[in-house]
Structure 1
Amino acid sequence: MAIQEGRWDCRSCGTVGILGRHKSCPNCGRSRPEGTRFYLPEDAQAVTDEARLQEARAGADWLCTYCGASNSAALEACGGCGADRADSERQAVRDYALEEVPRSGDNAPDSPSGGEAARTSSPRRRGSLRKFLVAGGVVGGILLLLFLVFRPRHKTLTVTGFSWEREIDVEAYRTVTEEGWDLPHGARVKKKWRDIHHYEDVLDHYETRTRKVPERVQTGTERYVCGKRDLGNGYFEDRYCTRPKYETRYRTETYREPVYRKEPVYRTKYRYEVEKWVHDRTKRAAGEDREPEWPPLRLAENERAGRRTEHYFVHFTDEEKERYRKEVSEAQWRRYEAGKRYSARVSRSGEVLEVTFPETKR
């Protein structure tokens, strides 16, 4: 059972982190009062000195009724005034769960006593903070480098030309032969037959099999450190609890597993003729002027114009004569002026991301 030396704070002069072995403040000499809050730093080491261990195991300190001095439980008379211990009050003994162990004393801002002494961080905390700051700096540097490499560049682009493309899909109304499970309106059946539409799982039989099944089995109990005990004399000791100990064991289990077969499901399938509009060809027109037009169409009686698509491009060069092309809507395309300069954002791969039009003067 490990014992650790705690700390306490002097409420009189504000000294913090006084070793638990001291019954009075080494700075101002005031005796440790009743109700002193003992606390345990996170980096506190186990006590190994036999004299300190005996002092810790002696019991809670007692407070002299006459002079108020704090005395070891091993003393029968006050070390300050010599008065007999008699019925003097003792420092309280407290039990804490691990997450409730006090880490600061009476002079910490959040303590019940409301002391104003500054709390000092332990070397371990300072080391952890330093590592965190170094790691954060490395990550931040990498992110900054990636931002500088991939961020868009601002360039001044000059319009050097325009181009456009327009397409019209031509559809023809024709008799087509198709196959399917259902007949569309107006279809003329040429052939029909029974065919496999899909498969269904049908139970065929059962097979007896074995498998390993895990089970949690209690094999005993174990003691573990579940908290700390404030011994009321400046020392803390581990509190132990008992919990069941388990291990995973496997047993063989027999079971029946269903086995299924794929059973085909038949339906009538058709080969039929039907009249419908189908894609026949695409007519295209393109140019590098400012007068886009649709390609001329010569349609037969059984043809019609279908889907229309159009694309408009503005061509630029930058100050280093590097060329760019940006697709825009027709309305934007007509706003650009040949030979005019525009401010733009360009990606590292050469894509024009955004072009800023100059404000129109009123």
Structure 2
Amino acid sequence: MAKRTRIIEGTWNCTSCDAKDILARHKRCPTCNNPRELSGDESDFDFGDVDAQSGKSLREGVTDDKALELAGAGEDWFCAFCGAANRGDQPRCKHCGAERSVDAKAAPLQAFETPEKPPAAPPPETKPRFTKKWLWLGVLFSCCFSSGLYAMWARTPHDFPGEITGTSWKVAVTQERFTAVQKTGWADELRRSSARMPVNGAGEVAGVDNVRDCVERQRGTRKVADGTERVCRSKTRRVACGTEEKCRRRDKGNGFVEEVCEDITKYCNERYEDCQNETRYRNEPVYARQCAYDTYEWKPVDRREATGLDGQPAWPTLQPGATDRQHRSEEYTVHIRYEDDGVKETVLMPKTERDFLRWKKGQGVVVTVTNSGDLKQVVPR
């Protein structure tokens, strides 16, 4: 596609007499005759607004030969002695006559983005471009470092003198009996086997016996194909729908910009129906034979509990039969008081009777607690 090029002339403002919208072709202010300098507003050119859709400049392009010659003269430079602006093809300063030296300053260039994106803000002149990135990294590092320091502080343990203020216990004995029961099950899962009675509460086999009264019952469902149906779904796709003009600009460094425009393919959203045959399914019941059968299982027949404060637990006693077994459950608590910027209390939960009997009311202990209040250990004094 053919490209169309034109030159756009910018304008600048004089800070000496406050004259506005001076054409870039003038290196001196037409009002006060002061030269354009590399300072403040005089170093920047205004190239006018652009069309938001195409990026095309709303200003007329330059057509006269003098302005086109200036646009092609190269980037302006600023005299190192008087600061005046000069054409890029001039070897001497037109204002003070000094030769162009290696320390002469080049005109600042403006960056223009394509119209699809908003113009990017130029970075500050006095700071490196990566300052913000490193600032965020520093904040992140500080947060992580602070979190790590807090975690270390919270886990730091301290020892405090303490005393056992009391103990308590709760114990229970549950008696179960291997009892004949009737159950139901699916015929394909039942395997006949003989029952075996427990000896001293162990070694039992439940068994499966006397399978009977089998009937057909629904066991579940399954999905089966039930033909096909035409299903259409509305979708969207991108399609070419003509052309549109898009323009981009390049700063020539002397108050002029080169604008290049071309017609590119334009894409639009198009809705369409995506239709295809899909298999239709239905739920079909599944039947199987369900039967009654005889077996054995453990069932609770008695339970005794006992509680107490301090001293050795007193376990309840039950008289087990030949087909019985017993289960024990236990719960122990040790109450502790210790000094840590005031009187505080905590609780120790021993797992076994042997561990529980290590602690006596009035016994001195050393309590290890973290800064966050977690109990780490308790040892006798």
| Residue number in structure 1 paired with 2:332 | 312
| Residue number in structure 2 paired with 1:166 | 171
- Identity value in percent: 22
| Residue number in structure 2 paired with 1:353 | 374
Give the letter for the 1:312 counterpart.
Y
Q: Matches of residues 195-210 of structure 1 in structure 2 within 5 Å?
A: 195-210=217-232
TM-score (norm: length of structure 1): 0.54
TM-score (norm: length of structure 2): 0.52
| Residue number in structure 2 paired with 1:273 | 294
Give the letter for the 1:357 counterpart.
V
Kept in 1, the 8 Å contact 2:234–2:271? The answer is yes
Inter-partner Cα distance in structure 1 for 2:272 and 2:314: 80
Structure 1 residues 263 and 45, CA, compared in 2 at 3 Å: closer, same or farther? farther
Secondary structure of the 2:356 match is: helix
Residue 210 of structure 1 and its aligned partner are, at CA, apart by: 3.1
| Residue number in structure 2 paired with 1:179 | 184
Q: How many residues align?
A: 279
Deviation digits for residues 290-331 of structure 1, max 9, x if unmatched?
31243312112221124x332211123567887654423336
Inter-partner Cα distance in structure 2 for 1:153 and 1:48: 69
Kept in 1, the 8 Å contact 2:167–2:333? The answer is yes
Inter-partner Cα distance in structure 1 for 2:171 and 2:8: 86
Structure 1 residues 237 and 165, CA, compared in 2 at 3 Å: closer, same or farther? farther
Structure 1 residues 298 and 256, CA, compared in 2 at 3 Å: closer, same or farther? same
Deviation digits for residues 197-241 of structure 1, max 9, x if unmatched?
121111122233433122222334556688x85636698878889
| Residue number in structure 2 paired with 1:291 | 312
Secondary structure of the 1:328 match is: coil
Superposition RMSD on alpha carbons, in Å?
A: 5.7
| Residue number in structure 2 paired with 1:333 | 356
Inter-partner Cα distance in structure 2 for 1:224 and 1:335: 87
Kept in 1, the 8 Å contact 2:214–2:292? The answer is yes
| Residue number in structure 2 paired with 1:114 | none
Question: Which residues of structure 2 form unaligned runs of 5+?
Answer: 1-6, 12-25, 28-42, 49-58, 78-84, 100-105, 115-119, 194-206
Give the letter for the 1:60 counterpart.
G
Secondary structure of the 1:299 match is: coil
Kept in 2, the 8 Å contact 1:214–1:251? The answer is yes
Inter-partner Cα distance in structure 2 for 1:279 and 1:180: 23
Kept in 1, the 8 Å contact 2:225–2:281? The answer is yes
Residue 163 of structure 1 and its aligned partner are, at CA, apart by: 1.2
| Residue number in structure 1 paired with 2:276 | 255
Kept in 2, the 8 Å contact 1:2–1:47? The answer is no
Structure 1 residues 176 and 244, CA, compared in 2 at 3 Å: closer, same or farther? farther
- Of 231-240 and 265-274, deviating more is 231-240
Kept in 2, the 8 Å contact 1:190–1:273? The answer is no
Inter-partner Cα distance in structure 1 for 2:359 and 2:163: 10
Match of 1:213 among 235, 240, 248: 235
Give the letter for the 1:292 counterpart.
P
Inter-partner Cα distance in structure 2 for 1:169 and 1:45: 93
Q: Matches of residues 133-148 of structure 1 in structure 2 within 5 Å?
A: none
Kept in 2, the 8 Å contact 1:59–1:231? The answer is no
Q: Matches of residues 1-362 of structure 1 in structure 2 within 5 Å?
A: 47-48=46-47, 57-61=71-75, 72-73=87-88, 75=90, 79=94, 120-121=126-127, 158-181=163-186, 182-183=189-190, 185=193, 186-187=207-208, 188-220=210-242, 229=250, 231=252, 244-306=265-327, 308-317=328-337, 325-330=347-352, 332-339=355-362, 340=364, 342-343=366-367, 345=369, 353-354=374-375, 356-357=377-378
Deviation digits for residues 140-174 of structure 1, max 9, x if unmatched?
9xx9xx99xx9999987542111122233322111
Kept in 1, the 8 Å contact 2:10–2:47? The answer is no
Structure 1 residues 61 and 195, CA, compared in 2 at 3 Å: closer, same or farther? same
Residue 176 of structure 1 and its aligned partner are, at CA, apart by: 0.7
Inter-partner Cα distance in structure 1 for 2:286 and 2:236: 41
Structure 1 residues 242 and 326, CA, compared in 2 at 3 Å: closer, same or farther? farther
Kept in 1, the 8 Å contact 2:239–2:268? The answer is yes
Give the letter for the 2:183 counterpart.
E
